[in-house]
């Protein structure tokens, strides 16, 4: 039976299912539910010394475009202390305290971290990544320090100094949470220099959803008349998250990384670990499907590890990184598409691919007619709705089935 436990910056996690900071973790009741369905750790909802402005959550679930969250409920120090204290006493979870100090004011960061440590937190997560505070202070002129959230996380030197202040103030490990709006490997490196024991990434990039085009461009939030810029999260940011995690891991080979952003299946968790994450983290998945999905993910992850002969997560951590090279070093295989005529129903989708005239319909079936022009990109394979196209290695004759989604 594979061992799913993880040592994360000295914290013993019984499995790699970490709930990312959000309204999923702002009450004891929800934290208990996370425990009930098998999570090992939660990062509590963002806490401030002084909450800078009122914010109530409002979301759009645009099924093909994303999950948009422009704002969220924040915890006061007292709320966070009470929550952490209760969660430590009433659950067996590892409790990570997500917090943001007052902009670049280092003492404020240190004081807040100390208070959360005293409340029982196992780890501090310095939020230098929220897209909805500091960046917006700059963009929309709200009354909040411009050095909050993602605006702080874009400044490697200040991030390092904030980390140093927090790491000196507490005896528990501190983790710095990165914004994808920054050069994350550099910011992570500076935070590590400042004493961060771990890095988490990524928080949401800033975004804007579509609008009601028949109603003067009004926003489509069900509970708001106007809108702010929104954090985009969920499956739509997963490749962006992989990129950041891989780049951070390539720069910092040893630092523990909590890697999240768009993970929704056991396979995504494996991919994230293969790109170098120490543990995967999940947020939007639980927003949309509940913590109930954890046991299924655990079962499938265990089955996969069994099949592959992996005994621990260490056995495959970071193994995908060796395939990342600079563009001029990419080695190409000599591939062409091969059509399975029994499966092909002549829909013609593969003949309409904009950049390619290689396939045409012949007698109502797809056929490779301009093989010399084919550079084996595989778009026809990905686009075929009937799985009728596979890729053939012209040198070895081997048929390579690209992995499906
Ligand atoms: C509604 C909402 C609230 C969030 N609140 C916080 C927060 O308080 N602190 C934080 O560091 N990240 C917060 N996040 C970001 C998530 O923790 C996570 O980093 C991000 O959503 C990407 O992961 P996902 O695609 O799995 O959701 C929030 C995300 C959402 C959707």
Instruction: For 217-232, write each residue's pLDDT tens digit.
Output: 999 988 889 888 889 9
Distance 204 CA to ligand 1 centre (A): 6
What's the rounded mean pLDDT across residues 291-318? 98
- Domains belonging to the chain, first-starting first, are 6-323 (3.20.20.70), 332-400 (3.30.70.20)
User: Comparing C-alpha atoms, which of 304, 317, 298 is closest to residue 259?
Assistant: 317
User: Comparing C-alpha atoms, which of 264, 229, 282 is closest to residue 42?
Assistant: 282
- Pick 18 or 132 by higher pLDDT: 18
The pLDDT-based confidence of 312 (bands split at 50, 70, 90) is very high
Q: Does the pLDDT at position 100 exceed 60?
A: yes
Phi-psi region of 273 (alpha: psi -120 to 50; beta: other; left: phi over 0): alpha
**CA–CA distances in Å: residue 380 to residues 86, 249, 287, 368, 375:** 55, 33, 34, 11, 12
Contacts of 108 (CB under 8 A, 6+ apart): 49, 101, 102
Neighbours of 161 (CB within 10 A): 17
User: Comparing C-alpha atoms, which of 292, 284, 377 is closest to residue 330?
Assistant: 377
Q: What is the pLDDT of residue 17?
A: 98
* Active-site residue, from 130, 191, 344, 384: 130
Query: pLDDT (tens digit, 9 = 90+) per residue, 140-162?
Result: 766 666 678 899 999 999 999 99
What's the rounded mean pLDDT across residues 237-260? 98
Distance 130 CA to ligand 1 centre (A): 8
Q: Does the pLDDT at position 400 exceed 90?
A: no
Residue 344 catalytic?
Answer: no
Q: Does the pLDDT at position 62 exceed 60?
A: yes
CB-based burial label for 347 (10 Å; 0-12, 13-18, 19+):
middle
Q: What is the pLDDT of residue 404?
A: 63
Ligand 1: which of 47, 198, 203 to mutate, most ligand atoms within 8 Å of CB?
Answer: 203
Using a pLDDT cut of 70, give the percent of the chain over it. 97
pTM of the model: 0.95
Strand order in the sheet with 335-339: 335-339, 389-393, 399-400
Ligand 1: which of 52, 55, 134, 204 to mutate, most ligand atoms within 8 Å of CB?
Answer: 204
Neighbours of 354 (CB within 10 A): 6
Distance 13 CA to ligand 1 centre (A): 21
- Are residues 275 and 321 in contact, defined by beta-carbon separation less than 8 angstroms? yes
User: What tokens does 332 get?
Assistant: 């190409």
* Atom 6 in ligand 1: residue holding the nearest Cα: 22
Q: What is the pLDDT of residue 61?
A: 85
The pLDDT-based confidence of 63 (bands split at 50, 70, 90) is confident
Ligand 1: residues with CB < 6 A are: 20-23, 45-46, 57, 69, 72, 98, 127, 129-130, 177, 203-204, 231, 233-234, 237, 260-263, 282-285
Q: What is the pLDDT of residue 11?
A: 98
Q: Cα–Cα distance between 182 and 151 in angstroms, integer?
A: 9
Distance 23 CA to ligand 1 centre (A): 8
The pLDDT-based confidence of 138 (bands split at 50, 70, 90) is low
User: Comparing C-alpha atoms, which of 174, 137, 143 is closest to residue 159?
Assistant: 174
* Atom 26 in ligand 1: residue holding the nearest Cα: 283
Distance 105 CA to ligand 1 centre (A): 24
Using a pLDDT cut of 90, give the percent of the chain over it. 82
**CA–CA distances in Å: residue 103 to residues 89, 107, 109, 126, 129:** 31, 10, 8, 12, 12
What's the rounded mean pLDDT across residues 171-198? 98
The rounded mean pLDDT for the chain is 94
* Atom 4 in ligand 1: residue holding the nearest Cα: 22
Looking from the CA of residue 233, the nearest atom of ligand 1 is 25
The pLDDT-based confidence of 74 (bands split at 50, 70, 90) is confident
What's the rounded mean pLDDT across residues 131-144? 72
Q: What is the pLDDT of residue 236?
A: 94
Q: Does the pLDDT at position 185 exceed 80?
A: yes
Q: Cα–Cα distance between 402 and 397 in angstroms, integer?
A: 15
What's the rounded mean pLDDT across residues 306-332? 97
The pLDDT-based confidence of 40 (bands split at 50, 70, 90) is very high
Q: Does the pLDDT at position 54 exceed 80?
A: no
């Amino acid at each position: 039976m594979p061992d799913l436990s993880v040592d994360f910056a000295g914290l013993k996690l019984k499995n790699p299912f970490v709930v990312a900071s959000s309204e999923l973790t702002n009450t004891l009741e929800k934290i208990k539910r996370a425990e009930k369905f098998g999570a090992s750790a939660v990062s509590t909802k963002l806490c401030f010394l002084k909450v800078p402005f009122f914010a109530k959550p409002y979301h759009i679930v645009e099924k093909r475009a994303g999950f948009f969250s422009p704002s969220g409920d924040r915890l006061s120090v007292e709320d966070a202390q009470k929550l952490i204290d209760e969660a430590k006493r009433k659950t067996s979870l590892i409790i990570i305290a997500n917090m943001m100090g007052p902009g670049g004011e280092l003492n404020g960061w240190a004081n807040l971290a100390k208070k959360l440590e005293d409340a029982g937190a196992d780890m501090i997560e310095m939020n230098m990544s929220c897209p909805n505070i500091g960046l917006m202070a700059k963009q929309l002129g709200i009354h909040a320090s411009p050095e909050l959230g993602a605006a702080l996380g874009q400044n490697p030197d200040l991030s390092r100094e904030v980390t140093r202040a927090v790491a000196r103030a507490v005896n528990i490990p501190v983790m710095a949470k990165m914004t994808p709006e920054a050069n994350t490997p550099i910011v992570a490196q500076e935070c590590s220099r400042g004493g961060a024991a771990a890095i988490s990434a990524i928080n949401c990039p800033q975004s804007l959803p579509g609008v009601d085009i028949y109603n003067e461009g009004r926003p489509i939030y069900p509970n708001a008349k106007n809108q702010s810029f929104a954090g985009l999260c969920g499956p739509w940011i997963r490749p962006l998250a992989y990129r950041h995690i891989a780049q951070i891991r390539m720069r910092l080979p040893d630092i523990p990384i909590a890697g999240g952003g768009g993970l929704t299946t056991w396979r995504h968790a494996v991919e994230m670990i293969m790109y170098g994450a120490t543990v995967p983290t999940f947020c939007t998945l639980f927003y949309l499907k509940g913590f109930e999905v954890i046991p299924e993910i655990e079962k499938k992850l265990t089955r996969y590890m069994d099949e592959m002969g992996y005994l621990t997560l260490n056995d495959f951590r970071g193994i995908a990184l060796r395939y990342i090279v600079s563009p001029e070093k990419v080695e190409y295989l000599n591939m062409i598409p091969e059509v399975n005529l029994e499966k092909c129903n002549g829909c013609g989708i593969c003949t309409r691919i904009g950049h390619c005239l290689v396939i045409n319909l012949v007698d109502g079936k797809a056929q490779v007619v301009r093989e010399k022009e084919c550079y084996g990109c595989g778009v026809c394979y990905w686009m075929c709705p009937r799985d009728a196209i596979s890729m053939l290695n012209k040198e070895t004759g081997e048929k390579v089935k690209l992995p499906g989604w």
